[in-house]
Amino acid sequence: MRLMGIVNVTPDSFSDGGLFLDPERAVAHGRELVAAGAEILDVGGESTRPGAEAVDATLERERVEPVVAALAGDGVAELSVDTSKAAVAAAALDAGATIVNDVTALRGDPELAGLCAERGCTLVLMHMQGTPRTMQAHPSYDDVVDDVRAFLAERIAVAVSAGVDERQIWVDPGIGFGKALAHNLELLRRLGELRVLGRPIVVGSSRKSFIGALTGRDVGDRLGGTVASNVLALAAGAEVFRIHDVLEVGRALRIAEAVLRSPSPLR
């Protein structure tokens, strides 16, 4: 189990847009997440919330690079860059990142696969139907789990054919990315079916809108739903948890892991 803390260096992310746009505040927030138990920090300079506007590579790099460099210099957490642009990924890797988290699964920039292969970094391939601008318009699937699994298998093959070491690939079903409420619930219910891909599963359900739809709570009051969805994901075999509330969710996951993984002393 690994906790991936979220550091959004953006003005418009759905959960904390603008709070950490200043690099110094973003770095301080990252350090707080590490103190709370994050082993990985995922730094992003472009919002991928539904309807978000695209950001050019130059601006995204200006937001991300100094934050990654400062946090990497601490040497206490692994750094991930949340980007689909090769130029931004290259700058972040140069600054000390070791993970590229691509929500487009190598569809956004044809040069990104080759870069990841050359650098030998970990690559996260996420499923998304459409783009952040269009993904929640009319999401539709024959069977959401089968469709996501087939997509991720195909993107793994693309990455490997470009020279990426398959052992360096993680997969993310993309909770909330081009999915209606029923799709998100079905993915969490049947998450274990993605284990046939043979790669670590990343789950990012933290504070997502499906929790708000079920609970009626706004984005700042979704901790209970975030804990529940991540504990269920752990039970289904997820290994990496991308979260905002690292301390609280981490505590819940550690208890759940102890119950699920430890042998019974009564046997």
pLDDT reported for residue 263: 74
Active-site annotation holds for 208: yes
Kindly name the residue from 242, 251, 261, 267 that is annotated as catalytic: 242
User: For 197-221, how does the pLDDT look when each residue is reduced to its tens digit (9 = 90+)?
Assistant: 999 999 999 999 999 999 999 999 9
Q: Could you tell me the CA-to-CA distances from 21 to 92, 163, 165 in Å, in that order?
A: 17, 35, 34
Kindly name the residue from 155, 207, 208, 222 that is annotated as catalytic: 208
Calculate mean pLDDT across residues 237-246. Answer: 98
Q: Could you tell me the CA-to-CA distances from 233 to 11, 205, 223, 227, 260 in Å, in that order?
A: 29, 9, 15, 10, 12
* Cβ atoms of 208 and 247 closer than 8 Å: no
Do the bridges between strand 240-243 and strand 2-8 make them parallel or antiparallel, or are there none, so unpaired? parallel
Q: Could you tell me the CA-to-CA distances from 5 to 21, 40, 98, 235, 247 in Å, in that order?
A: 16, 6, 15, 20, 10
Active-site annotation holds for 85: no
Inter-helix orientation angle 246-261/23-36, to 10°: 30
* Cβ atoms of 34 and 7 closer than 8 Å: no
Q: Per-residue pLDDT for 18 more than 70?
A: no
Q: pLDDT band at residue 21, thresholds of 50, 70 and 90?
A: confident
Q: Report how far residue 201's alpha carbon sits from residue 10's, in angstroms, rounded to the nearest whole number.
A: 26
* Mean pLDDT rounded to a whole number for the chain: 93
Q: Tell me the domains of the chain and their CATH numbers.
A: 2-261 (3.20.20.20)
pLDDT reported for residue 20: 72
* DSSP-derived secondary structure letter, 82: E
